[in-house]
Amino acid sequence: MTAPSRTTVAVVGGGPAGLLLARLLHRSGIDCVVLESRDRTYVERRQRAGILEQGTVDALRACGAAERLDREGLVHDGVELRWGRRGHRFDFPSLTGGRRVWVYAQTEVVKDLVALQLADGAPLLFDAEVTGVTGADAGRPVVHYTHEGLPHTLACDYVAGCDGSHGVVRRAIPRGRLRTYERVYPYSWFGILAEAPPSGDELVYAHSPRGFALHSMRSPSVSRLYLQVPNGTDPAAWSEEEIWDELEARLAVEGGRKLNRGPVTQRAVLPLRGSVTEPMRWGPVLLAGDAAHLVPPTGAKGLNLAVSDVVLLARALAERAATGTAAALDAYSSACLERVWRAQHFSWFMTTALHTEPGQSPFDTRLQLARLDRLASSPHAAAELAANYTGLPLT
């Protein structure tokens, strides 16, 4: 592919945010180029989230990217929370007026979007490492990158930073123009992928005196499970038997079934933190997804927030192209941040209600249990949980 030198929108980052943005722009008749620093194999194997909100599925369907999702995705109408060795199921459709979630791995979303992009979308360059952005202060941004061993420049009207929290694009914004709010949690998740059929039909989140645990899945034959562990834990230090025994203990309920066990094929320790960078726009430079915010995975919001960002951004850029007005583009940051902070609050609530702090007092544990008991006893609290988990509607 000949390296393009001019486009309307330079999309930096070929993850789900950048790929979906490019897809939406292409369908609106706005030319763009996607630059991804990694190769295609790496991008399509990069393990991340697996829960898709109703709004995310709707967005993928609207742009023709949900054919395999609708065929292979696992529809979930609820979630179970466990505490005090009791399980409590929250039925999403009845609590939200019909909304639900899907289990469909981010790797599969990316594969679907890559295939569409290469088949009929805007240019997508893998192994294209962006080294800097210049000219943005004058309203004429130029993206500098290397591809196939050669340096290139890409002049554009806008730069969309979809390249993560350590990406190049946000570093192009001058110091002092951004403010970042951050919380680092005092524990991590030890996650495993196992060749074992899921032990239930829906996700199970568990609060226990031993720490948090989560039972999830990737397919009818592959389970995804997590344990709360201290920060800095070495995942190799656990034997498979120790992992399964600890999961069994934390997920146990009276009269419950045993976990299906199987070979552990992947393991990793994931630190938990939340961060929000404000604003999400500086002139022609726009941030989306992890480049602007991170959430702990407890609320399943990371990928879904990225999708809502780029849906709003694509609408704003389409309005600008069609009418010449910039009202939606000017409101992009504030519109996104309202949703981001609500998702941060929900993720914080789920995280702090279900995890045990190091050295936590019995008083604080009783407060946690009171918060959880309210979810089970109050229809209003249950509806609030379901509304946030399935995702607030995109406006």
Domains of the chain: which residue ranges?
9-76+101-181+273-349, 185-271+357-390
What is the CATH topology of the domain spanning 185-271+357-390?
D-Amino Acid Oxidase; Chain A, domain 2 (3.30.9)
Nearest-angstrom CA–CA distance, 134 and 116: 30
Task: Identify the pLDDT of residue 257.
Answer: 83
Helix axes of 54-62 and 302-323: crossing angle, nearest 10 degrees = 40
The bridge status of strand 264-278 relative to strand 179-194 is antiparallel
User: Distance of alpha carbon 212 from its chain centroid, rounded?
Assistant: 20
What is the DSSP-derived secondary structure letter of residue 6? B
> What are the distances in angstroms from CA 147 to CA 37, 219, 318?
9, 36, 29
- What is the CATH topology of the domain spanning 9-76+101-181+273-349? FAD/NAD(P)-binding domain (3.50.50)
DSSP assignment of 268-279: EEEEEEEEEEE-
Phi, psi dihedral angles at 54 (to 5 degrees): -55, -45
Residue with tokens 């938990």: 272
Instruction: Name every residue whose Cβ is closer than 8 Å to that of residue 323 and which is 6 or more positions away in sequence.
Output: none
Q: Quick one: how far is CA 382 from the chain centroid?
A: 23
Report, as ranges of residue numbers, the positions in the chain whose pLDDT lies below 70. 1, 395
Q: Is 129 exposed, middle or buried (0-12, 13-18, 19+ CB in 10 A)?
A: middle
| Residues 357, 355: Cα–Cα separation, whole Å | 6
Q: What is the pLDDT of residue 219?
A: 87
Residue 395: count of CB within 10 angstroms of its CB? 8
Picking from 246, 194, 245, the residue whose alpha carbon sits closest to that of residue 223 is 194
SS (H, E, C) 226-259: EEEECCCCCHHHCCHHHHHHHHHHHHCCCCCCCC
User: In this predicted structure, what is the pLDDT of residue 322?
Assistant: 95
Strands 128-134 and 142-147, by their bridges, are antiparallel
pLDDT for 335 equals 96
- DSSP H helices, the chain, are 16-27, 40-45, 54-62, 67-72, 92-96, 106-120, 168-171, 240-251, 302-323, 327-330, 332-354, 362-377, 379-390
Q: How far apart are the first and last CA of the chain?
A: 38
Show which residues are catalytic. 76, 205, 297, 301, 389
Q: What is the dihedral of CA 7, 11, 14, 15, to 10 degrees?
A: -150
Contact 126, 43 (CB under 8 A): yes
Degrees to nearest 5, angle at CA 317 with 316 and 323:
85
Beta bridge partners of 88: 81
The count of other CB atoms within 10 Å of the CB of residue 106 is: 19
Indicate the helix (H) or strand (E) that contains 159. strand 158-161
* 8 A C-beta contact, residue 218 and residue 50: yes
Q: Which residues, 6 or more positions from 377, have their beta carbon under 8 angstroms from its beta carbon?
A: none
Strand order in the sheet with 150-155: 128-134, 142-147, 150-155
Residue 395: predicted pLDDT: 66
Nearest to 110 by CA among 34, 186, 172: 34
